[in-house]
Amino acid sequence: MMIENIHLLLVEDNHSQAIILREHLLSVKSPAIKIDWVETLAAAKSFLRGHLPDVILLDLTLPDSDGMETLSEVLAVADRTPIIVLTGLSDEKIAMTALTKGAQDYLIKSNVDQENIFRSIRYALSRSKSERNNFLLVSALKNVPYGVLITNAHSHIEWCNPAFEKISGISTAQAIGQVLSKLIKLKPLSSGEKNQNGNMWKTYEFDNGWSGEVTALHKDQHLLELDLTISPLTNRLGHIEHFIVTLQDISERKRVERMKKEFVSTVSHELRTPLTSISGALSLLAHDMLGTLPDKIREVLDIAYKNSKRLTQLIDDLLDMEKLLAGKMHLDIEMQNLLPLVEQTVEENRAYADKYGVEYEIKNQLDVAMVKLDGFRFQQVLNNFLSNAAKFSPRGKNVIISIEDVSGYLRVSVRDYGDGIPEDFKVHIFEKFSQADSSDSRHKGGTGLGLAISKELVERMGGKIGFHSELGKGTCFFAEFKRIENA
């Protein structure tokens, strides 16, 4: 332990002994030592109220105090400053008692020399630092907002913090010695994590740690939903001695998520049927299927029809996102040649590109580009890339589509030459309802869900999705899938 400077308080009423100690302490240049010397308990307490020395050398027998009383009085005002007790040869038993009461070390005055006094100071400072670190760690664990427990190798609780008491309703006294899974009836949300006893987990299952969502019972028997992590602590031989368990109450978050999903699902399904009828009727009117209408009425109907189509697209996107997040969307994964899928999707989107005065151009195509994916859902992703590129491209500029082999993956990319994506927005590009410039995006149209859905679809098909963008030079979105050789 490297020590550069030490501020030391010497509490000693024997002048000759104090002089000897000072000579030993000042006999070396490194570490530099500053010594303050007082002769009574009252003077020591007064000094400590205004100063924080690094270590205290304390004689237990003072004019105004004696024995353990001296130590207790100093400990009360020393703010965990390490104390080395000074004692006579005949008082060694008292010194040993002082160690159990809070002193870090002791020195027998008649045996003090330069070597052992510095050894004692280094030991006291090192032990004090370790105790302070432990104090800070325990204080932190006591004040974190999630539950923390320490169990032995057999999962019996040895310590828990106040947050666990608040979450479970179970006091520390009631928890100590209990098995956590029995105490709060833990059950993994995934049935595959249960063993034959349902809510009983065997210790060996957690030898490599475990993390997941579980249900539990509060002391008053209401259901809790928890985010649980179990981490083993091993000794130097690799044997597990303890487990650290952290748990966070996610009951409210889960309740809100369920409400949101139910709301989106209900609203989406309830809107879809009447909206289909409205959109169909508007389409008939807008296309003169029910007779020719005046131009002014046609303009109003055309606006209403386009907005009904946008609302239909929003509902479809919401339902797709709901299915993806719930894991209920079926994907028909099979061998596919990318080129025909890309060509078909591009052709189907050319009319859309014409509205924005841009053209799609396929370059760098590979005639045989075999991958495994869901063709319909891949085209849904590519539709999104193409529509975004058309909307944000300058009129007269081409949108470039390419199929390339990138380190064994077949990458389909769509590049535009628009304004590019602002740097501070790039991290949000695949988030739900994200739009880089809300006013511009509203003008261009879109739900803000397309890229989020595309990311979910690509990753669930085993692929990768990404983009490159530079302000003023455009953006390139891509999806890539493992190439199937010799297919």
- Per-residue pLDDT 10s for the chain (487 aa) are 455 688 999 999 999 999 999 888 888 766 788 999 999 999 999 999 999 999 999 999 999 998 899 999 999 998 789 999 998 877 778 888 999 998 999 988 888 888 888 888 888 888 888 888 888 888 888 899 999 999 998 889 999 999 999 999 999 999 999 998 889 988 876 544 444 444 445 444 677 888 888 999 999 999 999 999 999 999 888 899 999 999 999 999 888 888 877 777 777 777 777 888 888 888 888 777 877 878 888 788 888 887 787 787 777 777 777 777 777 788 889 999 999 999 999 999 998 899 899 999 998 777 778 999 999 999 999 999 999 999 999 999 999 999 999 988 999 999 999 999 998 888 889 887 666 554 444 445 555 788 988 999 999 999 999 999 999 899 999 999 999 876 5
Tokens representing 372 are 């495994």
Contact predicate 210/244, CB 8 Å: no
What lies within 8 Å, CB to CB, of 459 at 6+ separation is 465
Contact call for residues 83 and 76 (beta carbons, < 8 A): no
CATH topology identical between 5-141 and 334-482: no
> Measured between alpha carbons, how far is 65 from 167 in angstroms, rounded to an integer?
48
Residues forming a β-bridge with 224: 216
| Span 364-394, pLDDT tens digits | 777 778 999 999 999 999 999 999 999 999 9
CATH number for the domain whose boundaries are 5-141? 3.40.50.2300
CATH architecture of 144-249: 2-Layer Sandwich (3.30)
DSSP output for 385-432? HHHHHHHTSPTTPEEEEEEEEETTEEEEEEE--SS---GGGGGGTTST
Domain range summary for the chain, segments of one domain joined by +: 5-141, 144-249, 254-326, 334-482
d(CA 423, CA 388): 18
Give the CB-side neighbour count of residue 310, counting CA atoms within 13 A. 13
3-state SS class at 309: helix
Query: Between vectors from CA 145 to CA 138 and to CA 170, what angle results, nearest 5°?
Result: 85
* Residue 481 contacts residue 463 (beta carbons within 8 Å): yes
Residue 190 near residue 214 (C-beta atoms within 8 A): no
Q: Report the length, in residues, of the chain.
A: 487
What pLDDT is recorded for position 197?
A: 42
Give the bridge partners for 464, in sequence order.
Answer: 480
- Fold of the domain built from segment(s) 254-326: Helix Hairpins (1.10.287)
- pLDDT for the residue numbered 445: 54
Q: What is the pLDDT of residue 148?
A: 94
Assigned CATH for 334-482: 3.30.565.10
Q: What pLDDT was estimated at residue 281?
A: 86
CA distance linking residue 324 with residue 320, whole number of Å? 6
For 207, residues 6+ apart whose C-beta sits below 8 A from its C-beta are: 232, 240
Torsions phi, psi for 194 (to 5 deg) = -80, 150
Give the pLDDT confidence score for residue 58 in this predicted structure.
94
Burial class (CB in 10 A: 0-12, 13-18, 19+), 9: buried
- Burial class (CB within 10 angstroms; exposed 0-12, middle 13-18, buried 19+) of 309: middle
Per-residue pLDDT reduced to its tens digit, 270-326: 777 788 888 888 888 877 787 787 888 878 888 888 778 778 777 777 777 777 777
